[in-house]
Homo-oligomer: A and B are copies of this chain.
Amino acid sequence: MDNTPLAFSAHNHQHCVSDALQAAVNLCAERGARLTPLRKQVLELIWQSHKPLGAYALIDLLAAESTRQVAPPTVYRALDFLLEQKLIHRIGALNAFIGCPHPDHSHASHFLLCDECGRAEEIHSKTVSDSIQQAAGEAGFAVVSQSLEVFGLCPDCRADAPSHE
């Protein structure tokens, strides 16, 4: 069994982008939320990278794709919408955004972030979530949201630069 997660494995990324976009279209339709062309374009640009994308990188990409004006508030509003709909996550340590592969069910933001190649992988471990809930509960703390950012080396970058060399 191969436990290596998607972002750190070879895969057809264009397929994974189009799946994510289709899922977003369906979800927003169900919710009565308007996934406008701009919002969809921003979501697509974010998905096209497995690396978290900064707001200003996004602005540059939008400017390159069209002749339209794209000032910061425009892209931040689209990002706010996508965050509200849980279609993306914000990576605090990087001031950057990345697509959420499971926008249909609410969950915490838990990421593995490679220091070397910059790729991000969302993890879903019930053990991790439960242990966090329990630790917070023992402190009398009522959890609303949680963000875990684990930095280190992904499998590929470990292989490229082993510590024993």
Verify B144–A151 contact, CB threshold 8 A.
yes
A152 contacts B by Cβ under 8 Å: yes
Verify B131–A141 contact, CB threshold 8 A.
no
A14 contacts B by Cβ under 8 Å: no
A106 contacts B by Cβ under 8 Å: no
Verify A146–B142 contact, CB threshold 8 A.
no
How many copies of the polypeptide does the oligomer hold? Answer: 2
Verify B92–A138 contact, CB threshold 8 A.
no
A10 contacts B by Cβ under 8 Å: no
Verify B150–A3 contact, CB threshold 8 A.
no
- Tell me whether A147 and B93 are in contact in the complex, defined as CB-CB below 8 angstroms, given that A136-B152, A140-B155, A158-B140 are known contacts: yes
Chain B residues closer than 8 Å to A140, beta-carbon distance: 3-4, 8, 154-155, 158
Docked pose: A127 CA to B146 CA in angstroms: 16
Greatest chain B CB density within 10 A among A141, A149, A153 is at A141
Verify B127–A131 contact, CB threshold 8 A.
yes
Q: Which residue of B lies closest to A153 (CB)?
A: B142
Chain B residues closer than 8 Å to A142, beta-carbon distance: 152-153, 158
Docked pose: A128 CA to B125 CA in angstroms: 11
Please pick, from B5, B125, B139, B151, the residue contacting A121 in the complex, using a CB distance under 8 A. Answer: B139
Near B by CB (< 8 A), chain A positions 5-45 give 5, 8
Q: Which 5 A-B pairs have the closest CB atoms?
A: A140-B155, A92-B92, A125-B135, A144-B152, A92-B93
| Residues in chain A within 8 A of chain B (CB atoms) | 3-5, 8, 92-93, 110, 112, 114-115, 121, 123, 125, 127-128, 130-132, 134-136, 138-155, 158
